[in-house]
Every structure is written in C-alpha cells, then in structure tokens.
Structure 1
Amino acid sequence: MKSKKPLILVTNDDGITAPGVRTLIEVMSEIGDVIVVAPDKPQSAMGHAITINNTLYLNKVSKEDAAIAEYSCSGTPVDCVKLAVNEILKRKPDLCVSGINHGSNSSINVIYSGTMSAAVEAGIEGIPAIGFSLLDYDWNADFESIRKFVKKITLETLANGLAKGVILNVNFPKLKENQIKGIKICRQANALWVEKFDKRQTPFGKDYYWLSGEFVNHDQGEDTDEWALQNGYISIVPVQFDLTAHHFKQQLNSWNLNE
C-alpha cells in the first residue's frame, strides 16, 4: 500500500554524523517518510559547488531493514541533492530540508552556505525546500530547544506550499525554547564580512594564508534577519535562485550598447 505520508529528502553540509542533521532526521521522521543523502565529511562554505573533475562515491550507511535509508556522499551538498534526485529517489520528494546547520546562514552568509545551496538546488529541481541553521557553531550545540519550531515550520510549508523558485532560509537564535519570542518574516540584511588573510609560513619557509575577518552589519532596519536574530526571534527569509536585477533592466536599456 502506497504511503500517504510526505516524502522528505534530508541533507546538510556539516556531514552525515553531525548532531544537527541527526536532530533534523528525527523531527522529519515524525512528519513523513525520510531519505537521507548527506556528505561523508564536513562541506561548510562550499556554496553551490559541484564535482565535475573527480569521481563521486555514494554509500548506503543504514542497514537494509532500517526505517530510514541513509546514504553518504563523497561530494558537496549540491552533489548530494543531484544524486538523490537522479539515482536514489523513485519519485520527486514533497520536500527537501537541509541542516540543521551549526552556525549562522543569515544575511550574506546565504551566498557561501553549503546548507542553503543544497536547498536551492532542490528548488531548481522543482522541490519545495527549507534550509535550517542555528546560531551556534559548537558541535554539541543544543538543538532540542528548536525542535518544535522546526516541526511547525515544516508542517506549515507542506500545508501551504511555496511559490515556484522560492526557498526558505530559516535561522534560529542561540536561546532556550522559552526565551524565543516568536518567528519573523524578514528580508536579508545588508551585512558582509570584512575579510583579511593571516599570512604564515610552513616549517619549510613556504607562505600560506588563513582566512579570517569580522562580520559587519550596515543595516539598521528592523525588518531584517539580523535584527530578528539579535532580538530573540527566529528569522525566515524567502530566497530565490533568479539573480536577475530586474530593477536595473530599464536603466541598462538606456545605454548605447547597439550603436
């Protein structure tokens, strides 16, 4: 008999053993039928990278009689989604969830995020998708405090659907459950990393560089993800993969490009 439960694809960028994705798997199993395809090692800040010049390996890591089929992939988070859709799943899933990321993916971080790029790839495939992130980089971060919110947002997404090409970027403040004030629908804040490279040398005298920097928020708006998170709210930003600057098309058409 065909299951009436939604089919949910779970992935992440911290790797298949990360506590964040283990929590996400548990929550999703309360909602639907779950299949997991996640990197076999951490792939943070991989953005929308795909593997084209190396071999890709896909290994089933769950037992044959396990309730949830789990696969580890040697590639990037986007590779995981591509392989899931093309090689594993017999039908398109009803939802793809990515995370729960150990660390923020608010503001400009969405560009670099492997977590969000996996969700965006699902969106490109026509699958409703959500990226979940907690503002705590600790491997042993407390994901229990956000479980009910993850479930609520997932159920609402399944019930209401998403517009074509829209993906939800959900970030949770590092707070206890009873300290979270609620959920805010936000825009992406105008914030960025002011970067620098720490130049060092190997014992053999060869230069190498270590990226560091400071996150600077230039946005004073109270409708942004950064404001929401700093003020005790969960932020949800609807994002899209159409990067066209529609507002600039008219001005660009005024240029003398064809003369």
Structure 2
Amino acid sequence: MQKPLILVTNDDGITAPGIRNLVSFMNEIGDVVVVAPNSPQSGKGHAITINATLTFEEIHLEGPQKDYALSGTPVDCVKFALDKILDRKPDLVVSGINHGANSSINVIYSGTMSAAVEAGVEGLQAIGFSLLDFAWDADFKQGKKFIQKIVRNVLEKPLPKGVVLNVNIPKLKEDEIKGIRICRQANAKWEENFDERVNPHGKKYFWLSGYFNNMDSGKDADENALLEGFVSVVPVKFDLTAYEYIAELTENFKYES
C-alpha cells in the first residue's frame, strides 16, 4: 500500500529542533515533505505575504524526507506547498512542534496553528503540535508516543470537514504524562502592557510584556488538563460565526417597513 503523504511545517523555522523532531516522528509513519519558513515566524497568526516576493530552496538535512525553506509565513508555506511543490494533496498536514504553549487564546496568535488551520481551509486533515517548553534544547522526544498516536488516529479516522486539532504537550517526561484529554479552549488571556524604555541615544522605545491569566477552572479546559499532566487536544473550527447569536441579533435589528 502507498504510504500516507505528510506535509510538515512550523513557525520556528525549518532548522528548529521542534520541527526536526516532528519530521523524524513522521518519517516512521509516511512519506514526508517539509515546507517551512527559512527564519522564525512566531506570533504571525494567519498572516500571508502580499507586499513582497517569495523565494524557496531545497535544503539537505538528515533523513529521507524532502526539505524546502520558504521566505514566508507558516500560512504561505502551506499555500506554496500545495500549489508549487507537492504533486498530490497530502493525506495529513502537521505543524510544529512549537517551542511553547499554543493552548487557550494563544491559538489565534500562533503561526503553528494558523498553518494547520490553513490546511483545514483547503479541506485537508491537519494537526498543530506544541510543547510547553520554551528552551531551545527542550526534549521533544518526550511527546513522541502521544504525537504518533494522535497522527495515526487521524489518518485512520479522519476529522470532520472544517475541523483541525490543537495539541499541547506538558513539560513532563513521557512516563509522567497521564494520557490524552479531549478539551475545549480555556477562558484565558494575556494581561499586557507596553514597557517604556529609553535607548542610549535618548529615544523612547516600547517592549511588550505582561502575564498569562487563566480565568477558567473547568476540568475540561485545555489549560487545566495541561496543569494536571495530560496532553490536551482541542478540536478547532475556522468558521468564527457565533451561530447561537444569529436569531437574537436578527430580532434586535427587526424594523417595520
């Protein structure tokens, strides 16, 4: 039987340890093609390049996969791969492994998850993976068993159209992770401020800072699953319509002709 074709991308750059580990894990499951940014693109969200040209090159890294570095965003990488590099649609698109969490509200800022969402827009099966460890030398292998289990599950039992998975892995050793918990997005947000500073030339500049505020105590929320030592899996839809409010809003705007 033909192996599944797996497209791998990320937002930390094509040589980041997270994606190199993910590529290694995927090589054990299918035929892998990597199209990833040639430089870090964290926090880009669903940005696309419209005011500059794009370039790409094939690079030769360890493993049997083909690796292509693109001078664009994670979403650009998915679009470009489908139009210019792949000769058939991939059976799965995986993004990551991100250095740091993409749980709760982070999903809307994340280039990692935006790449997965873009694949979903194109009607493809897609998963974004993140590890709750910002260290460059983070141990991504601790999530291998869970990542491969989730990937194989999606390949065998495809997701509904328009749904992609947001997977976050706690910073624990593999034998310390309690399992996988299917969750909802937690009610949490960043409380931010711009720290005002002055450079050596006397000119003001600002540095974004703040803290993460989890306001959700629900056991089914992804933030709390991670705190309890579980891999959190949140099914994500790119349709942002608040369907439950349509009837009320329609009533509010009624008028007599």
Q: TM-score range by the shorter chain?
A: over 0.9
- The one-letter amino acid paired with 1:70 is D
Where does residue 111 of structure 2 map in the other structure? Answer: 114
* 2:141 is equivalent to residue 144 of structure 1: yes
Tell me the distance in 2 between the aligned counterparts of 1:181 and 1:144: 16
How big is the shift at 1:204? 2.2
Q: Does 1:27 align with 2:34?
A: no
Matched, 1:193 2:190: yes
Deviation at residue 57 of structure 1 after TM alignment = 1.0
Does structure 2 retain, via aligned residues, the 8 Å contact 1:62–1:68?
no
After superposition, residues 66-145 of structure 1 pair within 5 angstroms as: 67-145=64-142
CA contact (8 A) 2:167 2:233 kept: yes
Offset, 1:205: 2.2
In structure 1, distance between residues paired with 2:54 and 2:214:
38
Counterpart of 2:54 (choices 50, 56, 59) is 56
1:69-101 CA-partner distances (Å, limit 9, x unpaired): 100011100001010001101111000000000
Q: Does the 8 A contact of 1:145 with 1:176 survive in 2?
A: yes
Residue type of the alignment partner of 2:13 = G
Distance 1:75 1:200 in 2: 31
User: Which of 16, 28, 47 is equivalent to 1:18?
Assistant: 16
Cα separation, 1, equivalents of 2:69 and 2:107:
24
Q: What's 2:154 paired with?
A: 157
Alignment of 1:174-185 (within 5 A): 174-185=171-182
Aligned residue identity for 2:204: D
CA RMSD in angstroms comes to 1.4
1:209 to 2:206 alignment = yes
Q: Does the 8 Å contact 1:135/1:173 carry over to 2?
A: yes
Matched residue, 2:234: 237
Q: Distance in 1 between matches of 2:138 and 2:210?
A: 23
Shift of 1:244: 0.1
Instruction: Output one character per residue of 1:165-202: Cα deviation in whole Å (capped at 9) or x when no partner.
Output: 00000000000011000100000000000001111122
CA distance in 2, matches of 1:84, 1:206: 43
One-letter amino acid of the counterpart of residue 251, structure 2 = S
- The one-letter code sitting in structure 2 at the alignment partner of 1:143 is F
Report the CA distance between 1:62 and its aligned residue. Answer: 2.3
Counterpart secondary structure, 2:2: coil
Native 8 Å contact 1:13 1:43 kept in 2: yes
Tell me the TM-score normalized by structure 2: 0.97
What CA distance in whole angstroms lies between the structure 2 residues aligned with 1:145 and 1:106? Answer: 18
| Aligned mates of 1:231, 1:156 — CA distance in 2 | 23
Deviation at 1:256, TM superposition (A): 2.9
How many Å apart are 1:258 and its aligned residue? 5.3
Q: How many angstroms does 1:257 deviate by?
A: 5.4
SS at match of 2:252: coil
Matched, 1:40 2:38: yes
Q: Aligned partners of 1:76 and 1:170: how far apart in 2?
A: 21
Query: What is the TM-score with the length of structure 1 in the denominator?
Result: 0.96
Aligned-pair identity (%):
63
